[in-house]
Amino acid sequence: MEFGSKYVYMKTADEDEEIEIDDGAMQKLSLDLKSKNEDEQVCLLDILDTAGQAEFSALREQYMRESQAFVIVYAINNKNSFQEALDIHTLALRMQQVSSVPAILCGNKSDLDSERQVPTDEAEKEATARGMAFLETSAKTGANIQEAFETLIKRTPRYGSEYKIAVLGSGGVGKSSVIIRFTQDMFVSDYDPTIEDSFRKTINVKGIPKDMLSPKPKEPPAMKKRKSAGFFKNPFGSLKGRGAVSHGAAAAPPPPPPPSRPSAPSRRGPKKIQKTKKTDGNIILVSLGTLENDPQIMTGDAVKCSNCPAILSHVSEVGSGESTKRPWKCEFCDHQNEVDMTDEEIPKESQVDFLVDAAPEASSDSEFTMATDKPQSQAEVVLYCIDVSSSMGAQTALPQLQAEWYALRQSNITSVSRLDCIKQAVQRQLDFHEIETPEKKAGLVPFGSIIKFLFERTSQVDFRSVANNVDELLKLGQEYARTETLKPLSENAETLKGQVKNLGLAGCTALGPALTLAVGFLSKLPGSEIVLCTDGLPNEGVGSLPRDPGFYDKIGEIAKNQQTTISVIGIQTGQEYEIETVSKAAAITGGNINLLNPHELSAKMREITQDVVVATNVEVTALLHPYLCFVSVKADVNNKSVAKCTLGNVHKNTELTFRFQRKAEFKDVEVPSLPFQIQVHYTTKDGRRLLRVLTEKRETTVDRDQMETNLNIPVVGATAMKESAALAQRGDLVGAKMYLKQNQMMSRNCVLKASFNEEASSAYLNYEQQAVEMYDEMDDEDLPEMNRQANMAKYQKEKGLVKMTAAGAGKKGIIKARSKPMSSLHQAKYYSYE
Ligand SMILES: Nc1nc2c(ncn2[C@@H]2O[C@H](COP(=O)(O)OP(=O)(O)OP(=O)(O)O)[C@@H](O)[C@H]2O)c(=O)[nH]1
């Protein structure tokens, strides 16, 4: 549990001041970061860790165009990676259409000198000839890591304190390791290929040459276009056109990058002034991904107050007395309880777990007996529902860079079909699961005008007569679950991969029926997942668009109730309405929604599997002291101090935020501190039902200054963006913009009052950067309002924002710190992909 401010701000809704905000473009508030030493500059590095594997290289084009400076990495014990590093440099120059670019070539893994394949002098000579700086580094020992980034900064023209840097190089050379060593001073020895990650770090650099400090006053193209850390993964960003789509035609050259928009609004009328109440730091943020961690289970049951929902915790004061009748005055409602517990049974930590139900024994007489001997456990099944309708045959031209890259490697691929991309992506996923989680069961549900279940064997589903009836389709799915066999990947991965390979195009798009059948099939397998891959033009049976948009809410609810997650991988077609409608089902179940260029499919598939379900059937109760009430969450009708929400499946990155304020009727009561409690009921992967109780006590204040100076900017920022996105999605774009601005102002005050505390300012700049981008999207008059609203989905769901906005180094790397090493088998397979 994290709070928006160190202090609970004790003002009621009516009491606090109003401010006036205009709806003009959101400006970056110039916060000039100054170092105490004159010859030193504060530099805020926004570092992008890119994918090394060719599989993910479609995104490189964007990095290369939009970054200001590059760290190009090879491994000294890998000759090929050196050659590739040089090729990457060549492409970077070509993409930026310049003859030189700020870059440093890093020969990483210098600690492995005995395996050296690239002589130092050869590499240095090449780097010098190409105008790059050069250093040999070791992420393992830390040698030259800091120096590498400082050297790069000294060669990069300074336009404000922010530097956008991309780290490029082949797979496995140590790009992520170099960044993690630099930002967090640690070394991660396991290998897990990166898709894309962002990190931030502020450093002071001495001795930046004068010509870099006052470069020509032209804005580098890079600075405007590249999204900041954390928002580069932009599922809906493609609405604005990324990559070119052509139907069956030969490769078309990609469109030129969109010109950067002037920041001043051009067509808008005079600025509107809005009066609004000041916002505050009364926020609680709960990261539910931690449910994955091993629970520290208390002996005995949770002890409840007999008057309110509170549970006895480490902040409770339990009097001494006979062991069976010890007094406990509830810190929430003041009720005098008598409890029967020993000192050992009183929680000592702010977070404790209680066992509610042991894992059910596997029984053989369950209604659905799967054809394996093992009992079906949680999160063990993933169904890929794959659209094979004729529109999936449309060809997409490869992005320019990727085409050049292939050309460089003597392959003349210039375009691929949507279905080809999906096939490749699913095959990779099967490979991945086969090695990493061989016990997992996977099945394919291709759909066009016919629907098949491709599990151990192939069955064509006879759904025609019930194509327009959700209940009948669900039933049919359930029937198939009784008869169809899903075998673990260790036994049938090869068969499945063969089936994927042979998928062919087939007529119309019975998307709704296929999805319903899949949901029906999984009805007795809580924690399972459906990955729906489609270009989103459903035109047969339930869910046909535009006839039946309500279907997607309905099927989403059904899936959520049975604890099935639906994720959507939508292909960019220009028909965004359809895909957004289909995606509602995913939003309801807490699944991922991605709309993307076909080239990014495998990356997305991988991302989905990395964002695993950590707990199912999750129910959260948040409890405030009766002096306080929740704002804008569904609080208990009779008791505004209790909020409940049912979340279903929870992923590693699921976060909940609550806002609260003082109740008007307790305006004059003085109280030095107040308790807060979050109770989470959840089912673990091994089937146990647990209750996690988080309790904290916080000091109060009525002094706005004290509350503001002690803000937790990452928490405030993350909440502001989420809530603002929610407002925009509900159609209140103006309210959303005001809200964002207001929080920006409050956070800025914090930084100013905290007298330029480095951590706070760096956290602020990070938040501001993201908020300005989000604001610009809401303000984008080139986009229809509906699309602007829809764009906000990504902000609402944006993962790891808090980690990203954390002061100083982005903490994402730590989250990424791989819990499980990738097997050497997987690595070998991974490297062998063409
Ligand atoms: N000995 C040694 N091993 C390193 C060093 N840097 C990275 N490694 C190891 O090399 C492997 C790959 O490192 P990563 O940082 O994941 O490589 P990457 O370039 O980000 O790889 P992709 O994500 O595929 O692009 C890991 O097992 C690291 O522990 C180093 O300086 N010395």
* Per-residue pLDDT reduced to its tens digit, 8-18: 999 876 776 77
What does the pLDDT read at residue 85? 93
Assigned token pair, 262 = 């002037």
Whether this model's ipTM surpasses 0.95 comes out as yes
Ligand 1 atom closest to residue 53's alpha carbon, by position in its atom list: 24
Average pLDDT over residues 210-237: 50
Q: Is the CB of 196 under 6 A from ligand 1?
A: no
Ligand 1 atom closest to residue 51's alpha carbon, by position in its atom list: 25
What does the pLDDT read at residue 264? 40
Q: Is the CB of 171 under 6 A from ligand 1?
A: yes
How is 723-770 classified by DSSP, letter by letter?
HHHHHHHTT-HHHHHHHHHHHHHHHHHHHHHTTT-HHHHHHHHHHHHH
pLDDT one-digit tens code per residue, 395-452: 766 655 556 656 655 556 667 778 887 787 787 778 777 776 788 889 999 999 999 9
Q: Is the CB of 107 under 6 A from ligand 1?
A: no
CA of 688 relative to ligand 1 center, distance in Å? 37
Best of 74, 173, 176, 177 for a ligand 1 pocket test (most atoms within 8 Å of beta carbon): 177
Q: Which of 46-60, 626-640, 727-741 has the lowest mean pLDDT?
A: 46-60
- Within the chain, how many helices (H) and strands (E) appear? 24, 31
How is 376-411 classified by DSSP, letter by letter?
--TT-EEEEEEE-SGGGG-EEEPPHHHHHHHHHTT-
Most confident of 1-15, 308-322, 460-474: 460-474
What does the pLDDT read at residue 162? 80
Q: Is the CB of 54 under 6 A from ligand 1?
A: no
Residue burial 538-560, b: 16+ Cβ < 10 Å; e: rest = bbbbbbbbeebbebbebbbebbb
The confidence band for 59, taking pLDDT boundaries of 50, 70 and 90, is: low
Ligand 1 atom closest to residue 50's alpha carbon, by position in its atom list: 25
Q: Is the pLDDT of residue 110 over 90?
A: yes
Q: Is the pLDDT of residue 743 over 60?
A: yes
Ligand 1 atom closest to residue 180's alpha carbon, by position in its atom list: 15
What does the pLDDT read at residue 536? 79
The confidence band for 52, taking pLDDT boundaries of 50, 70 and 90, is: low
Q: Is the CB of 810 under 6 A from ligand 1?
A: no
What does the pLDDT read at residue 808? 28
Residues 6+ apart with CB under 8 A from 570: 534, 535, 536, 579, 582, 583, 593, 594, 595, 596
Q: Is the CB of 191 under 6 A from ligand 1?
A: yes
Ligand 1 atom closest to residue 189's alpha carbon, by position in its atom list: 29
Q: Which of 28-42, 193-207, 651-665 has the lowest mean pLDDT?
A: 28-42
What does the pLDDT read at residue 322? 64
Assigned token pair, 616 = 């199912």
Average pLDDT over residues 211-239: 47
d(CA 41, CA 33): 8
Residue closest via CA to ligand 1's atom 26 equals 191
Mean pLDDT, the chain, whole residue set: 77
Please give the residue that has the higher pLDDT: either 568 or 305: 305
Most confident of 57-61, 427-431, 814-818: 427-431
Residue closest via CA to ligand 1's atom 28 equals 189
Give CA separation, 70 vs 56, 163, 698, in Å: 18, 10, 45
What does the pLDDT read at residue 319? 87
CA of 172 relative to ligand 1 center, distance in Å? 5
Residue closest via CA to ligand 1's atom 10 equals 174
pLDDT one-digit tens code per residue, 149-159: 999 999 999 88
pLDDT one-digit tens code per residue, 576-596: 667 778 888 888 887 777 666
Q: Which of 164-168, 550-554, 754-758 has the lowest mean pLDDT?
A: 754-758
Q: Is the CB of 816 under 6 A from ligand 1?
A: no
Q: Is the CB of 395 under 6 A from ligand 1?
A: no
What does the pLDDT read at residue 418? 81
Q: Which of 272-281, 404-413, 545-554 has the lowest mean pLDDT?
A: 404-413
CA of 188 relative to ligand 1 center, distance in Å? 8
Average pLDDT over residues 61-70: 81
Please give the residue that has the higher pLDDT: either 353 or 365: 353
Count other Cβ atoms within 10 Å, centred on residue 210.
Answer: 6
Q: Is the CB of 239 under 6 A from ligand 1?
A: no
Q: Tell if the pTM clears 0.90, that is, is over it.
A: no
What does the pLDDT read at residue 333? 93
CA of 596 relative to ligand 1 center, distance in Å? 28
Most confident of 19-33, 332-346, 796-810: 332-346
Q: Is the CB of 99 under 6 A from ligand 1?
A: no
Average pLDDT over residues 812-834: 37
Best of 117, 176, 192, 831 for a ligand 1 pocket test (most atoms within 8 Å of beta carbon): 176
CA of 138 relative to ligand 1 center, distance in Å? 10
Q: What percent of the chain has pLDDT over 70?
A: 72
What does the pLDDT read at residue 745? 87
Give Dmax over CA atoms of the chain in angstroms: 85
CA of 174 relative to ligand 1 center, distance in Å? 3
CA of 173 relative to ligand 1 center, distance in Å? 5
Ligand 1 atom closest to residue 138's alpha carbon, by position in its atom list: 31
CA of 129 relative to ligand 1 center, distance in Å? 27
What does the pLDDT read at residue 636? 54
Residue closest via CA to ligand 1's atom 8 equals 174
Assigned token pair, 256 = 């030129």
d(CA 57, CA 90): 15
The confidence band for 133, taking pLDDT boundaries of 50, 70 and 90, is: very high
Q: Is the CB of 148 under 6 A from ligand 1?
A: no
Which pairing describes strands 441-447 and 451-454: parallel, antiparallel, or unpaired?
antiparallel
Q: Going along 410-511, which residue ranges are E strands? A: 415-417, 441-447, 451-454, 458-461
Assigned token pair, 502 = 């042979």
pLDDT one-digit tens code per residue, 667-726: 888 899 999 999 999 988 777 899 999 999 999 999 988 999 899 888 888 888 888 887
Q: Which of 413-422, 459-468, 518-527, 615-624 has the lowest mean pLDDT?
A: 413-422
Ligand 1 atom closest to residue 177's alpha carbon, by position in its atom list: 15
Average pLDDT over residues 641-646: 85
d(CA 278, CA 532): 43
Q: Is the pLDDT of residue 248 over 60?
A: no
The confidence band for 546, taking pLDDT boundaries of 50, 70 and 90, is: confident
Q: Is the CB of 52 under 6 A from ligand 1?
A: yes
What does the pLDDT read at residue 227? 45
Q: Is the pLDDT of residue 137 over 90?
A: yes
Give residue 263's identity as a one-letter amino acid code. Answer: S
Please give the residue that has the higher pLDDT: either 438 or 140: 140
Count other Cβ atoms within 10 Å, centred on residue 664.
Answer: 11
CA of 831 relative to ligand 1 center, distance in Å? 13
Residues 6+ apart with CB under 8 A from 523: 474, 477, 478, 481, 562, 564
Q: Is the CB of 230 under 6 A from ligand 1?
A: no
- Any idea what the Cα angle at residue 196 is, between residues 68 and 783, rounded to 5°? 75
